[in-house]
Amino acid sequence: MRIGKSPTRFEITEYSPARVTLAILVSIPNQVGYYAQRLDILKLCLESAVSHAGVPVDLMVFDNGSSSEVRQYLVELYEKGFIQYLIFSSQNIGKIGALKIMFSAAPGEIVAYADDDIFFYPEWLSAHLDLLDRFPHAGLISGCPVREQFKYSNSHLREILDSNPLLSSESGHLIPDELDREFRISTGRSVEANEEIVDIVLHHDSQSAYATATHFQFVAHRDLLLRALNSDKLIKWSGRMMGQMREMDEAIDALKILRLTTINRLVRHIGNTLTPELANLAKQYGFGGFSKPVRPREVESWRLLSNIRLVRMIAKRMYNLSYRLLNSDLKD
């Protein structure tokens, strides 16, 4: 039974979605140990992503089972209008699972995706869109040159080059070593560069780009991303918390579409540690209010201590115990 008519029955909304949906995936189950600084890093990620985009965006955030403190922070941003679309999952459904929901729900024709530990430099999105719109065969654009990515998902590069005489390429040690070193440190890898990997740069008219892309941050047409997620290796729900991003890279490569990275670094992978250098960078752009950064000397001291076998054994047992206690009720 219904009495009367809906007041909005004949109304027309003035809203229309932005061309780009900025989609950030958040997963911070607690604020201790590995996640001790992750809320501060999330704040820096969201603030820099929106304020430095350079073009209008709708911000979509998918929270993948985070703690109550993180969820409350996101709700506050939503109520202020900073976040346009906020999706909560009661538990962590895995990264690929979250991407399927996000990309299906995104209203924009283009999705600008990022993990929640990325810093964005001014005009980052404008430069991504310029490559996406003008570079031949461009499918997915990233803003952080990563040397290791040249090892994967470039099986159709030669075919694309041969079919387009307006495209040219050069190879060599082209990514600045300092950028490669900073990325490796932010992901916990060895700082030693892989000298066997050959960097490839593509040229078209006045544009140039590295012939690879990352999967922690990228810009692409929404339809392309959904095609990749519906590929044979990804269409089934795996339940895996992490992984399968390389399979998505391979699915895009199989479509004979280029995965590209801007020559200049426009985004930066932070990791789980806010260093003094990053804290100063944030203040330089007017972002602040973060907790005490971790100094490199402190990190090195802990690494040396962790090399002692007895210390590692005791620490592992304590970690396992604390993990069980925390996961008994992570939402509190």
pLDDT digits (tens, 9 = 90+) for 15-36: 889 999 999 999 999 988 889 9
Q: Using an 8 Å Cβ cutoff, are 44 and 134 in contact?
A: no
Tell me what pLDDT residue 178 has: 87
**The pLDDT of residue 144:** 95
Output the pLDDT for position 301: 54
Closest residue by Cα to residue 248 from 162, 316, 180, 149: 149
Pull the structure tokens for residue 258: 């280029």
* pLDDT value of position 332: 44
Predicted pLDDT of residue 191: 63
pLDDT at 296: 47
Q: In this predicted structure, what is the pLDDT of residue 53? A: 97
Domain ranges of the chain: 20-269, 295-332
Enter the CATH code of domain 20-269: 3.90.550.10
> What pLDDT, in 10s, does the model give residues 215-225?
899 999 999 99
DSSP assignment of 38-96: HHHHHHHHHHHHHHT-SS-EEEEEEEES--HHHHHHHHHHHHTTS-SEEEEESS---HH
Contact 94, 69 (CB under 8 A): no
* Residues of the chain by 3-state class (helix, strand, coil), percent to 5: 40, 20, 40
Tell me what pLDDT residue 123 has.
97
For residue 331, the model assigns a pLDDT of 45
Residue 306's contacts (CB-CB under 8 Å, 6 or more residues apart) are 312, 315
Please identify every stretch of the chain with a pLDDT value under 70, giving residue numbers as ranges. Answer: 2, 4, 6, 9-10, 188-195, 236-243, 289-307, 311-312, 316, 319-320, 323-324, 326-332
